[in-house]
Structure 1
Amino acid sequence: MNTSAPAARPRWFVAGDLNGFFGLLVDNLTILGFISMALIGLFQFPAEIVFTRMFPGTAFGVLVGNLLYTLMARRLAARTGREDVTAMPLGLDAPTSIGMALLVLGPAFVAFKAQGQSPADAAIATWQLGMASLVVMGLLKLVLSFFGEAVTRALPRASLLGSIAGIALVLMGLLPLLETLRAPVAGFVTLGLLLYVLIAKGRLPLPLPGVLVALIVGTALYYGLGLAGLGAPGFALPAWTPLSVVLPWPSLGFLEGLPNTVPYLPLLLPFGLLMVVGGINVSESARAAGDDYRTRDILLVEAFATLVAGVCGGVAQTTPYIGQPAYKHMGARSGYTLLTGLFVGIGGMLGLISGLVQWLPLAVLAPIIVYVAIDITTQAFQATPPRHAGAMVLGFLPSVAYLLAIKAPGWIAPEQLHALTTTADAHGLPELAVIFTLGNGFIITAMLWTATVAAMIDGRLRRASVFLLVAAALALFGLIHSVDPRGGIYLPWQLEGLARTISWQFVGAYVVLAAVLALLSFTPGAPKRTT
């Protein structure tokens, strides 16, 4: 008689879980720190709204997602009888969380104040917009959980990764680098240590995670030099926020923010799509490392955690991290995700996370984002065919236009800005108006430009024509190349004057080039088709 002993129940914690916990915790704290840095430091957003309204719900999404991934890992271990199953790490997504702060929440707060709202009212409206944005992205991810692989087959990898790499290099790289160098000694030393341990793969003479050591050294330098009078001008110790219980109760406040998400859909929809693509990639990565999670389950948990965070007041979406094999190599199993979820979730409710974030200097947090930008851009080139490199570089340029567009109002007087965007010359359309038009919807623009050139390289000229016609249709309604100063969408017959001219010129450019490529596909000089 065949009697097989039941598989032993996996242990809740092993020694490697501590290493995994520190690594995953620092990642999440860094992103929360940058969100607060961007909103409070760059946009003068009320700190109370960030710490008592936005952070508890955002942290709660991390708690829910990590608890579910912990349970999934324990179920897989029990089913297979293996004790070396490592849970999928979940946390706040760096590119889109930073993008939400710099490209959605911050500009929306400024726009609400420009409409005459008080800073307090504008902050609440911005918070509701952030909630609604998460609900929109969560619903998109929920639907795409069932069709995500079909989406990834329709667009080349260079298009999907290149668009986010453009954000990384131009926005996540340059803007945090400027913050790093505002306190040069602490910031530059922190950046150098991070590059040493993460890119050069050097080892520090301390039995601690390298990122944690870099943070400690940078923070010590920042406060040590500041207290000695040798730090950056304007140094001051932050005020400690007393711990207080803020429960992230579900709220219908996101309904108030839904109408305000419309101008930001060209940003929000690609953000959600990229997380689905990332979820598929990390599932394959975990499978290659020996942990066979069902892709749809990974995506559904990601979507559910984002929805929960949005309904409970969060403003940054969760995602499974690409480094699951790295956590497995650390010896982590399922305890590290449980520890991280509990620490971040409960710490967010008690105000502990907010207190820690306030004491981490901007110049010390920013270098971590600079490293993330370098890593994302590097991975984009490594994970795509070398022949598509030129296509991906082209996709970076709309991000440059967006950077100029968000900085121009601070550099140019309002009356001069209006003249520069409404006065054409003998060379064609106003240059600054072209910059704004190219920057609006830049993520989708980058995806379509990269996909078009990649298709051309592969000899699929008719496929390239289709991408161009899709771009023309989106430009017609302002989903890309919006001529609305706020980047909003519209009906084409609502446009007048120069705005109408610019819009139709861009639409016409796409249609004409699509026709040219379609005709070239019938010529003997067309590139040979590759798979």
Structure 2
Amino acid sequence: MTTTAHPRRIVAGDVNGLFGLVVDNLSILAFVATALVGFFGFPAEVLFTHMFPGSALGVLVGNLIYTRMARSLARRTGRDDVTAMPLGLDAPTSIGMALLVLGPAFVKFKQGGMDEHAAAIATWHLGMAALVVMGVLKFVLSFFGDAVQRAVPRAGLLGSIAGIALVLMGFFPLVEILRHPIVGLAGLGIVFYALIARGRLPGNLPGVLVAIVVGAALYYGLGAAGLGAPGFHAPAAPTWRFALPWPNLGFVDGLPLVVPYLPLVLPFGLLMVIGGINVTESARAAGDDYSTRDILLTEAFSTLVAGVCGGVVQTTPYIGQPAYKAMGARTAYTWLTGVVIGLGGVFGYLSNLIELLPLPVLAPILVYVAITITTQAFEATPQRHYAAVVFAFFPAVARMVAIKLGDPGVVPPDRFAELFARADHGLPELATIVVLGNGFIITSMIWAGYAAALIDGRLPRAAVFLAAGGVLTLFGLIHSVDPNGALYLPWNLSGLGATLAGQFAAAYGVLALLTLALTPFNRETKG
């Protein structure tokens, strides 16, 4: 530690940090774009000129504040080795927003009779409203973050997000990799070698950069020669796009539209609060003692700014602050990243880069992130709770199956409705899968919380998780009996819906009572 700090100086490590943080954000934006445009047919111009500028602005604002916090810490401590907290777009919830909220909402609006442009604008407003809701939630919870962390065990928090990573962030991109196997597997191999096996590349080049360059060269080279997989598209000419992310009231129009998606949106915000607490502790362990509340408030503020200005992807502090410190990054790499991403959203060069990089080129990075998140769920959880983490995966698997079966190209709507209502022995199989997948993030938290409490011998606590599950089921926050996952009042249900909701809610109640009844015997065993 030195006695004279120079927090404004740009050092070589800041350049390394800049590249890594920009690529992280670019990869997430690229997947969101590919998912919405490629999977759901969302208009690219609305995405790039309405959604991306506000999302990028959130990255700029948050990183500028974190830079100021780091420089303030450096001045107070007299140190020149303080590393700023990195902030960017959150990968799991961004992918969840694209695949579970924005894309399905766009399809639903079109099926309801809107033309494509009107449906896109309604989806944009819904995304803005979702971001504002998450920002408000994060703002409130920033004052109670420690209490939230104590209430839900790590197995529930990390298991639920690992479920998203494994089946949505990992499996879907893996399918895209294998649709262009030469390109995808080459990139995946480089990512595995450099980032998982920690192998050295020529010139110590970053693994992500090499994987993107090799993948793009193979994609365009093989495609031009007629040797690539079907579906090759030549690179499009760059399109000039200029869009200022002005504040607007589109989120007000989107508030009624976001209600059916609250079972997904609210856990997204909650997870980021817990993540913010964890990354602050990680930075503290690395030697940089930031205020947890300030880190969380900044995250909430930047998310709110993004939402009000048209963004649809929330920001979060990244877990890799110690890694950026190890590579020599200090306080400049965050504001540099903010400027590159923020101006890229305004002047359109981010969209140009994304249009040049097809999903098979970027998918290996997403698979790596999915593997890392899933691995961390076990590494950061006590070994005795591993079963609880695995238990949290199953609702996410059900959601993945429901997404595929709900695709009209896979199962026609009339056939889907028939299967949803067909009962042979027990409840209809397809209905059970869909109901299990609806609200799966909260379900995963409840299931893992119940299992972890049971493993720890805290049976009354386990019963509380079950009781909460029963109550949430009655209102559709989890196990919504609406195929689209909408919320409802239990007394408005009838027919199959009432049967499904009643059976699931009663199941939680019966298991809660059974768990409480076993409490005296468990005490005798522990004694």
TM-score, structure 1 normalization? 0.97
On the 8 A contact 2:136/2:304 being kept in 1, the answer is: yes
Report which stretch shifted further, 9-18 or 332-341.
9-18
Q: CA offsets, 1:173-222, max 9 Å, x none?
A: 11000111121111111011001111101110123212111111111111
Question: Which one of 144, 148, 152 corresponds to residue 151 of structure 1?
Answer: 148
Give the whole-Å Cα distance in 2 for the aligned partners of 1:515 and 1:314.
45
Corresponding residue number in structure 2 for 1:414: 413
2:474 is equivalent to residue 500 of structure 1: no
SS in 2 for 1:91: strand
Q: CA offsets, 1:139-184, max 9 Å, x none?
A: 0000000001100001111110000101111111110001111211
On the 8 A contact 2:5/2:74 being kept in 1, the answer is: no
2:483 is equivalent to residue 485 of structure 1: yes
Question: Which one of 47, 52, 55 corresponds to residue 50 of structure 1?
Answer: 47
Amino acid at match of 2:397: V
Give the whole-Å Cα distance in 1 for the aligned partners of 2:391 and 2:70.
41
Give the whole-Å Cα distance in 2 for the aligned partners of 1:527 and 1:192.
50
Give the whole-Å Cα distance in 2 for the aligned partners of 1:151 and 1:506.
26
2:232 is equivalent to residue 235 of structure 1: yes
| 1:131-530 equivalent positions in 2, closer than 5 A | 131-410=128-407, 411-425=410-424, 427-524=425-522, 528=526
On the 8 A contact 2:136/2:300 being kept in 1, the answer is: yes
On the 8 A contact 1:43/1:106 being kept in 2, the answer is: yes
Deviation at 1:528, TM superposition (A): 3.2
On the 8 A contact 2:405/2:411 being kept in 1, the answer is: yes
SS in 1 for 2:521: coil
Deviation at 1:419, TM superposition (A): 1.4
2:26 is equivalent to residue 38 of structure 1: no
Q: CA offsets, 1:309-335, max 9 Å, x none?
A: 000111100000000000000000011
| Aligned alpha-carbon RMSD (Å) | 1.3
Give the whole-Å Cα distance in 1 for the aligned partners of 2:525 and 2:484.
40
SS in 1 for 2:202: coil
Corresponding residue number in structure 1 for 2:69: 72
Provide structure 2 residue ranges, at least 5 long, that are not aligned to the other structure: none
What is the count of residue pairs matched by the alignment?
Answer: 524
On the 8 A contact 1:458/1:528 being kept in 2, the answer is: no
Deviation at 1:236, TM superposition (A): 1.9
On the 8 A contact 1:458/1:527 being kept in 2, the answer is: no
On the 8 A contact 1:456/1:527 being kept in 2, the answer is: no
On the 8 A contact 1:172/1:370 being kept in 2, the answer is: yes
Give the whole-Å Cα distance in 1 for the aligned partners of 2:387 and 2:253.
43
Give the whole-Å Cα distance in 2 for the aligned partners of 1:134 and 1:279.
17
Corresponding residue number in structure 2 for 1:110: 107
Structure 1 residues 224 and 504: alpha-carbon distance in aligned structure 2, compared to 1, 3 A threshold = same
On the 8 A contact 2:54/2:245 being kept in 1, the answer is: yes
Report which stretch shifted further, 241-250 or 508-517.
241-250
Deviation at 1:246, TM superposition (A): 0.8
TM-score, structure 2 normalization? 0.98
Structure 1 residues 225 and 502: alpha-carbon distance in aligned structure 2, compared to 1, 3 A threshold = same
Structure 1 residues 54 and 526: alpha-carbon distance in aligned structure 2, compared to 1, 3 A threshold = farther
Deviation at 1:527, TM superposition (A): 5.7
2:10 is equivalent to residue 13 of structure 1: yes
On the 8 A contact 2:56/2:311 being kept in 1, the answer is: yes
Q: Percent identity?
A: 67
SS in 2 for 1:83: coil
Amino acid at match of 1:372: V
Q: CA offsets, 1:108-153, max 9 Å, x none?
A: 0011011011111100000110000000000000000000110000
Give the whole-Å Cα distance in 2 for the aligned partners of 1:390 and 1:236.
45
Q: CA offsets, 1:388-419, max 9 Å, x none?
A: 11111111000111111111123222222111
Structure 1 residues 524 and 149: alpha-carbon distance in aligned structure 2, compared to 1, 3 A threshold = closer
On the 8 A contact 2:457/2:522 being kept in 1, the answer is: no
Deviation at 1:491, TM superposition (A): 0.6
On the 8 A contact 2:392/2:448 being kept in 1, the answer is: yes
Give the whole-Å Cα distance in 1 for the aligned partners of 2:85 and 2:526.
41
SS in 2 for 1:82: coil
Give the whole-Å Cα distance in 1 for the aligned partners of 2:228 and 2:466.
52
Deviation at 1:7, TM superposition (A): 4.2
Amino acid at match of 1:373: A
On the 8 A contact 2:480/2:501 being kept in 1, the answer is: yes
